[in-house]
Amino acid sequence: MNIVRWLTTTNHKDIGILYILAAFLLGAIGGLLGMVMKAQTTLPELSLISASFYNQSVSVHGLVMVLWFVSPLFLGFANYMIPMMIGCRDLAFPRLNAMSFWMFLFGGLVAASAFFFPGGAIATGWTIYAPLNTPQYSAGNAFGIVLGVAGAAMLIIAITLGTINFVTTIAHMRAPGMTLLKMPLFVWFFIATLAIMLYVFPVLGVAGLTLLSDWLLGTNFYASPHGALLWAHLFWIFGHPEVYVILFPGLGVVAEVISVFSRRPIYGKNIIITCIIISTIMSLIVWGHHMFVTGVSAGWRIYMSIMTELISIPFGIIVLCFIATLWKGSIRFKTPMMFILGIIPLFLIGGATGVFNSSAALDYSIRGTYWIIAHFHYVLVPAVAMTLIGGIYYWFPKMTGRMYSEKLGHTHFWLTFIGMNLTYFPWFLISEMPRRMVTYSATQTTWAEMHLLSSVGAVILLLGQIIFVINMISSGLKGPRALSNPWGGYSLEWTVSSPPPASTFLKRPIITEQGRVKYSFYPTSWAHLENDGGRIESNIDETDFKEDSD
Amino acid sequence: MSICSICDQVVTTSQAPIESLFSIYFWVALIAGGGVFLGFLYFVFRFRYIPGKQEPLDAPKAGVIPPLRGSSKMGWILALGLFLIFIPISVATKDTVDFIEKPPAEDSLIINVEGFQYAWSFTYPNGVQTISTLRVPKDKVIVLESTSRDVFHNLWMPQFKLMVDTIPGQTNVVWFKAIKTGSYTAHCNEICGVGHTFMKATIIVQEPEEFQKWYGGGN
């Protein structure tokens, strides 16, 4: 383990781990900013931090969580797992992959560095609405906006290079016999993410570069009469599909984990794939629901309303298929499965409240309020953050070769589940409060009660994450050795040792028409796999699940 | 405190359809989501692992891509079922949008609203201008023609369940008709700078005679 190796690596597994570590580093920054905001709003009329710092916190928290926490987390899994899942040695362009990672990391650091410049970090909200984002109205926040947008531009380059890399890999480097339909759903969900990213990140790039040119070249795109709506359209053409960009990998983890731990194949794989394709296309044409009260025409609003309602249908079907997977299963309540089962009711709440927001009429009474932030935290925290954390537990034995502590894992889950609900549910009940208010009057007693409750929840949530970090570090160093396939998984990463060798496959795997994996090098591939501890064709060893005996 | 505070007393006529629309959505979500949730709980309990329980025959194992499970017919059934849920709420939304869209054809008071960092200015037809206080008569249609002097703001009147984006360079129109006198607080609902939190206005709904006394019959 030396530093030069990690700085110069082009191996997809090393880069995957770097992505995951960077994601948690940046996610911790985003989380701490969230805690700062929670502390400030715990009681009415507090002034722990200035309004200016609150605005910076609210903006950087949003940008970091969406762009620099969730994206690298799923890119980490994708880097590590996808080449193994489709049976190839590495990504198509390993050095390009390393470049993507470092561009992404420096982009994040550039954006965050603005905290140390006069005027502080970007303070316009994560939506960076025009014309507040222009030199005319934010001269004091120049470093924040320019560095924030420059960081985002580096992220866009990183993402675009990464997408090309993954598309090439999945299109051209699948193992012989690994047909599209045989690929695990995790790969399918990731393909949808790639497709959306290829479409929407250039739009964000255009918005960001024109904004930078307003600042650096003296153009006037966004302080001009139609600048506000121009920015809103560009931002949401990117911003709404971005929700699906970060949602799909989470659902991919759900698909893998729910099947493996209920010991049944995923229900309706072809139905889910159809839904993925339909919702990918639809996700690009629903952005208008963010702009219902901007004065756009009524016909356009009705269209966007109906499209937004319709896009719930494929997601509803996907969730129902996940639940149907449990039918006649034998559910093992290991930590990854706890997280994945735990998110289903939360995602139901997040999804159902999303249907409210799709209504152009109801938007007159909920847009931009605490109802909205309650809704999207109920989508993003469970369906994105908690699923990916479930994924961390699921693949931890594979990545480190060691088992995590199941007891700490369950504690982490329950603290997260309870803390998460306590933090975000009260926000639904103060739907009249505008978001991004640094403080509120003491006469608003309901607001005060709800914020106090929410802050208690945030502390519980934080405790859970501390336990998570302790579990990861102590188990990563001293946990018991993991077998190559501790969960009885089917995808190809479970056919190799834990942790896998730098070059995953000795020989390229071949998948027969019946779906059996063979190595051309070993005519008797089953024996080979069994010697590896893969426990092929046998039931799971009961001792692996002895903690379930309660 | 009620479900999302939407069941407050009705104080404007345009608020009533939004309240009832909300309850349609709420009950549809509660019944559909609650049903799925109960089914999910039953599945988790019913199919949990018990020591000694046999592995399902098609349990995933390393080196075997699992066979497909489920029929595409089920996909169509689920799609149709979900689609049917969305018909009534889409129709209800369309009706409500149509209602909110057009101010009723009655005698109305048109007030120009201008947001600026960090206050609201209201200009009446007779030229009277107020800052941060909007006085309106009860039982009269009030049309707010709203714009902004500088950045993107949003005039949010929580008790009326009504908001409008105020955007520089364009005028957005929204209307309401108050049916209860009283004093209400409006907030800016779009981050607009350091003073965003404190960009408020007081809406005072008065009896028509009282309002006329203040207004002076200038029109």
Q: Where are the domains of chain A?
A: 3-549
**How close does chain B come to A219, measured CA to CA in Å?**
18
**How close does chain B come to A358, measured CA to CA in Å?**
9
Q: Residue A316: its chain B contacts at CB < 8 A? A: 78, 82
Neighbours of A180 (CB within 10 A): 12
Position A193: which residue type?
T
Closest residue by Cα to residue B58 from B50, B67, B49, B70:
B67
**How close does chain A come to B141, measured CA to CA in Å?**
18
Nearest to A125 among B32, B58, B191 (CB): B191
Q: In a mutagenesis test of the A interface, which of B65, B91, B98, B148 is the best target, namely the one with the most A β-carbons within 10 Å?
A: B65
Report ipTM for this prediction: 0.92
Whether A516 and B63 lie within 8 Å, measured CB to CB: yes
| pLDDT number for residue A544 | 38
Tokens for B175, please give them: 């209307």
- Give CA torsion, residues A133, A138, A142, A147, to 10 deg: -30
The third-level CATH classification (topology) of the domain covering A3-549 is: Cytochrome C Oxidase; Chain A (1.20.210)
Residue B94 pLDDT > 90: no
| Strand ranges of the sheet holding B119-123, from the earlier edge strand across to the other edge | B129-131, B119-123, B108-116, B141-148, B172-177
Class of residue B217 by CB neighbours under 10 A (exposed 0-12, middle 13-18, buried 19+): exposed
d(CA A503, CA A142): 47
Give Rg (Cα) of chain B: 26
Torsion-angle region of residue A134: left (phi > 0), alpha (psi -120 to 50) or beta?
A: beta
Residue of B nearest to A497 (CA): B62
Q: Residue B71: its chain A contacts at CB < 8 A? A: 268
Q: Residue B3: its chain A contacts at CB < 8 A? A: 429
Residue B217 pLDDT > 80: no
Tokens for B133, please give them: 């206080």
Per-residue pLDDT tens for B153-179? Answer: 999 999 999 999 999 999 999 999 999
Whether A344 and B40 lie within 8 Å, measured CB to CB: yes
Q: In a mutagenesis test of the A interface, which of B42, B118, B152 is the best target, namely the one with the most A β-carbons within 10 Å?
A: B152
**How close does chain B come to A365, measured CA to CA in Å?**
4
Whether B5 and A275 lie within 8 Å, measured CB to CB: no
Phi, psi of B114 (to 5 degrees): -130, 120
In eight-state DSSP terms, residue B144 is: E
**In which element (H, E) is residue A28 found?**
helix A12-41
Tokens for A79, please give them: 């880097």
Strands, E assignment, A93-175: none
- Paired sense of beta strands B162-166 and B153-157, if any: antiparallel
Per-residue pLDDT tens for A160-178? Answer: 999 999 999 999 999 999 9
Distance of CA B158 to the CA centre of its chain: 9
Instruction: Please state which architecture CATH assigns to domain B108-215.
Output: Sandwich (2.60)
Per-residue pLDDT tens for B134-147? Answer: 999 999 999 999 99
A433: Cβ contacts below 8 Å, ≥ 6 apart: A369, A370, A440, A444, A447, B158
3-class DSSP state for residue A184? Answer: coil
A292: Cβ contacts below 8 Å, ≥ 6 apart: A301, A304, A305, A360, A363, A364, A367
**In which element (H, E) is residue A460 found?**
helix A445-478
Distance of CA B40 to the CA centre of its chain: 30
**Count of residues in chain B:** 219
Buried b (16+ CB within 10 A) or exposed e, A62-75: bbbbbbbbbbbbbb
Distance of CA B82 to the CA centre of its chain: 23
Contact B43, A325 (CB under 8 A): no
| Strand ranges of the sheet holding B200-206, from the earlier edge strand across to the other edge | B133-137, B200-206, B182-188, B153-157, B162-166
Mean pLDDT confidence for B39-45: 96
Residue A462 sits at the vertex; the CA angle it makes with A460 and A464, to the nearest 5 degrees, is 70
Per-residue pLDDT tens for A245-292? Answer: 999 999 999 999 999 999 999 999 999 999 999 999 999 999 999 999
**Count of residues in chain A:** 550
Neighbours of B104 (CB within 10 A): 12
d(CA A133, CA B169): 16
- Give CA torsion, residues A242, A244, A249, A253, to 10 deg: 150
Q: Residue B89: its chain A contacts at CB < 8 A? A: 309, 355, 359
pTM for this model (two decimals): 0.91
Residues of chain A with pLDDT under 70: 1, 519-550
| pLDDT number for residue B8 | 53
| pLDDT number for residue B15 | 83
Residue A545 sits at the vertex; the CA angle it makes with A540 and A550, to the nearest 5 degrees, is 140
| pLDDT number for residue B71 | 87
B209: Cβ contacts below 8 Å, ≥ 6 apart: none
d(CA A147, CA A111): 5
In eight-state DSSP terms, residue A205 is: H
A12: Cβ contacts below 8 Å, ≥ 6 apart: A79, A80, A83, A90, A91, A94, A97
d(CA B4, CA A429): 4
Q: In a mutagenesis test of the A interface, which of B4, B146, B154, B160 is the best target, namely the one with the most A β-carbons within 10 Å?
A: B4
Residue B179 sits at the vertex; the CA angle it makes with B178 and B180, to the nearest 5 degrees, is 100
Contact A457, A424 (CB under 8 A): yes
Contact A309, B83 (CB under 8 A): no
Nearest to A329 among B56, B74, B165 (CB): B56
Q: Is the dihedral of CA B18, B24, A428, A386 positive or negative?
A: negative
Whether B161 and A365 lie within 8 Å, measured CB to CB: yes
Whether A361 and B100 lie within 8 Å, measured CB to CB: yes
Q: In a mutagenesis test of the B interface, which of A52, A124, A132 is the best target, namely the one with the most B β-carbons within 10 Å?
A: A132
**How close does chain A come to B129, measured CA to CA in Å?**
24
Domain boundaries, chain B: 3-50+70-101, 108-215
| pLDDT number for residue A548 | 37
Tokens for B53, please give them: 């329980």
Contact A111, A148 (CB under 8 A): yes
**In which element (H, E) is residue A105 found?**
helix A94-113
Nearest to B158 among A361, A432, A542 (CB): A432
